[in-house]
Amino acid sequence: MKNLPEKAFLGEEFLTWLWYRTETGQGEFLRKNGSYAGASMEDFLLFGGDDRDELEQTLRRGLPSKSPEATTALAEGKRLARARLTLATGEREWVLVLDGRTFDFLSVKCPEEDPEDIGDDPMAKDLARMQGFAELSDLVDELFGLFLETRLSPSFEDKEVPRIRAWIRDRQKL
């Protein structure tokens, strides 16, 4: 088993935080440029434990983020190691599986290029696609930055953590 990068747990917590935000009506994020970005959880979740050798649990298809299995995993303190997400800003939308431990971008689908913008120029098409990957990278880093602002603030333990725990408890009541 390969070694995890230092503070890799922050990526797992980031995924859990995104999940919590999207399920509590806070799935819209104000970006530095004044626009908004949205996030939603899709049909793939992979849970792991504190220990890398601990059993992993994969939930896929249907609505795994709403499933009782997902609630149980959260309640048992399992970490969200990977998740399929949709991220959107303006008219553009990306789907990807984000690995929280390594921040690898897996199975990425970038938005279709607008034919009116690129015409028949293959180089313009290439460039639009390259920009699609770069924009996604910027967006994920910006969302991670927003998470870190919350995570590293002095009030995080007293305010945000109880809210996240309450969200997990509420899920158990359903």
Which residue from 115, 123, 155, 173 is in contact with another protein, where contact means CB under 8 A? Answer: 123
CA dist 84 and 139 (Å) reads 15
Tell me the Cα Rg of the chain. Answer: 17
7-15, 23-31, 53-61, 82-90 -> range binding another protein (CB under 8 A): 7-15
Regarding 52 and contact with another protein (CB under 8 A), the answer is no
Neighbours of 151 (CB within 10 A): 16
Which residue from 65, 70, 81, 132 is in contact with another protein, where contact means CB under 8 A? Answer: 132
Instruction: Supply angle C-alpha 120, 130, 11, rounded to 5.
Output: 150
22-30, 38-46, 52-60, 144-152 -> range binding another protein (CB under 8 A): 144-152
* b/e burial code for range 28-48 (CB count within 10 A of at least 16 → b): ebeeeeeeebebbbbebbbbb
Nearest C-alpha neighbor of 70 from the set 98, 40, 43: 43
CB of 95 to another protein, least distance (A): 9
35-43, 57-65, 85-93, 103-111 -> range binding another protein (CB under 8 A): 103-111
CA dist 121 and 39 (Å) reads 32
35-43, 59-67, 71-79, 81-89 -> range binding another protein (CB under 8 A): 71-79
Which residue from 69, 114, 117, 141 is in contact with another protein, where contact means CB under 8 A? Answer: 141
CB of 141 to another protein, least distance (A): 6
Regarding 90 and contact with another protein (CB under 8 A), the answer is no
